[in-house]
Structure 1
């Protein structure tokens, strides 16, 4: 395990800061910093990605044809997108597989009373192109609580995210970090090889201020 202390703000995080301000002013459903911290913004998590594309146009009926997975997520619970920072469970005691059952990994075990359950639905989620080899993940943490660790998994070759709900057996652990100090952005370097096509990068972020654990699915296309 390695210890990290990175600083700096990515272009994704800068956009996040601006958009969060807009959402907080315009929506009563926003829950504020007390109940939410962050997510992976590059490559973006499923709900952050949906919010970034459609947050200012979420009632556009074109979404149903252009982006059907985001469409079903918005219809199921719009607050899962507006509150993209709040997908976590408390008091897991590092036993993530017990807290998050198979088929519920992208919703963090139906965290927040099932608010994020739409993220578990298999389908043609929009992907971010990445290359085999070294990849850097960027997590934006509004509350700057640091991290006890990150665990990063990638789906195995042969897993089909368009038809199969994600299970622990579909994943390979590729990185486990040490402690990160307080910052707005954390960067996690991983190395991935031998994959092509649509995969899920699954990130567990254990926040540094308490036993608070975030479960994050990012859809990528290995090219």
Structure 2
């Protein structure tokens, strides 16, 4: 089915009655209505954060304030966009938008956002986002049951609204041509749900199905359309790489599903219990971990990050929580919703539940050490808390940092080894710091 025919299958415009009144009103009323509609466009803004849209990735990369010629922009595609349009597309990352009053009419949409200008929403001042380049940052995506989870950052949410999510057809290459409507297939459309608060920001969250067999590079094209007289729609290009394929699997983990289910929101005073159940009919518990939700960690799902770090550190041989990058799995501390659960045994299952506040979590006893004597890392791993001191592999004393960095003190991996030679130099990547 073509994009055009799929667009026309959308449900009827809910504001049709209001449009009829505007069309038959006098010129003064019409002008006033249009002014109010345009003025209302400041009430909704947003951009796709995962998989990250071009303008947001370029904004995060930075380097466009100096030198003036853009030579400081690290990514070649973002540099080409800057040299064409300046920093305007980046600083206005949440306003890549077009006004189409007849927004249910696909021909009207195409007139406002024509072929070759889809990534800029037809805005000549943002045309750099349509640059033809092989260097656009590509978000790696591993499908879970044929789907991926999209996070649309709504800096100013608007309901009612809806999304249309498209995928470039096999054979399209962003290195050869700018995106056209005929390069796209509509793969998902839905009314906007109530936005979720993640990390203090508002998101629309969608689980997007992908046609079977898709592998390699593609462009995910998102249209977030307000349902109001102004007809403001937001258009985002997200460059992606669908991972997978090959005849010999090398990745030793099996994706079970997303770690934090939609609507799973425990309150302070409650306890979250995470279990991995074995494949037998008896449902033997292979992993059991609980975490108390407190006023300190309830906000922004911080409890989920703490629980994920604990699972990775204590039970990392059986379960991992994070985002896959090649053959590695890393806990994503920015977008907790992006983290998935990976199991070593494909026939096992996961259960995560909220216990009543009268069931206290089971806390392991901390390692007992004489005064002035500290455990030699990794002895006692899985029980470290912020402020604990250990003897690192270099013989020096190291102290577990405060949250969120301290959440990784229980991970036995090269990047989190106190005193290890491979610990990243960036201070924000360390779980440990030299004890004072």
TM-score in terms of structure 2 length:
0.40
Q: Is 1:211–2:226 an aligned residue pair?
A: no
Q: Is 1:197–2:206 an aligned residue pair?
A: no
Structure 1 residue ranges without an equivalent (≥5): 3-32
Q: Is the 8 A contact 1:123 1:162 kept in 2?
A: yes
Among 142, 152, 166, the alignment partner of 1:131 is: 142
- Structure 1 residue 194: Cα displacement: 2.2
Alignment of 1:110-121 (within 5 A): 111=123, 114-121=124-131
- Structure 1 residue 72: Cα displacement: 1.6
| Equivalent-residue separation in structure 1 for 2:157 and 2:209 (angstroms) | 26
The aligned residue for residue 100 of structure 2 is: 91
CA gap of 1:106–1:92, structure 2 versus 1, over 3 A, is: farther
Alignment of 1:168-183 (within 5 A): 168-181=181-194
Q: Is the 8 A contact 1:206 1:213 kept in 2?
A: yes
Q: Is the 8 A contact 1:92 1:211 kept in 2?
A: yes
The aligned residue for residue 66 of structure 2 is: 59
CA gap of 1:220–1:147, structure 2 versus 1, over 3 A, is: farther
CA gap of 1:171–1:164, structure 2 versus 1, over 3 A, is: same
| Equivalent-residue separation in structure 2 for 1:151 and 1:82 (angstroms) | 24
The aligned residue for residue 23 of structure 1 is: none
Q: Is the 8 A contact 2:98 2:113 kept in 1?
A: no
Considering only CA atoms, is the larger Rg found in Structure 1 or Structure 2?
2
- Structure 1 residue 196: Cα displacement: 2.1
Q: Tell me, what secondary structure is at the counterpart of 2:55?
A: helix
How many residues were matched structurally? Answer: 188
With 127-136 and 79-88 compared, the bigger mean Cα shift is at: 127-136
With 186-195 and 153-162 compared, the bigger mean Cα shift is at: 186-195
- Structure 1 residue 167: Cα displacement: 0.8
Alignment of 1:102-117 (within 5 A): 102-109=115-122, 111=123, 114-117=124-127
Structure 2 residue ranges without an equivalent (≥5): 1-9, 12-40, 197-201, 244-436
CA gap of 1:35–1:120, structure 2 versus 1, over 3 A, is: farther
Q: Tell me, what secondary structure is at the counterpart of 1:71?
A: helix
- Structure 1 residue 36: Cα displacement: 6.2
Alignment of 1:134-145 (within 5 A): 134-145=147-158
| Equivalent-residue separation in structure 2 for 1:71 and 1:153 (angstroms) | 26
- Structure 1 residue 89: Cα displacement: 1.1
- Structure 1 residue 212: Cα displacement: 0.8
- Structure 1 residue 208: Cα displacement: 4.5
- Highest relative contact order (Cα 8 Å, sep 6+), 1 or 2? 1
| Equivalent-residue separation in structure 1 for 2:148 and 2:160 (angstroms) | 19
Among 71, 86, 89, the alignment partner of 1:80 is: 89
- Structure 1 residue 191: Cα displacement: 1.1
Q: Tell me, what secondary structure is at the counterpart of 1:44?
A: coil
| Equivalent-residue separation in structure 2 for 1:137 and 1:88 (angstroms) | 19
With 152-161 and 189-198 compared, the bigger mean Cα shift is at: 189-198
- Structure 1 residue 78: Cα displacement: 0.6
Q: Is 1:42–2:62 an aligned residue pair?
A: no
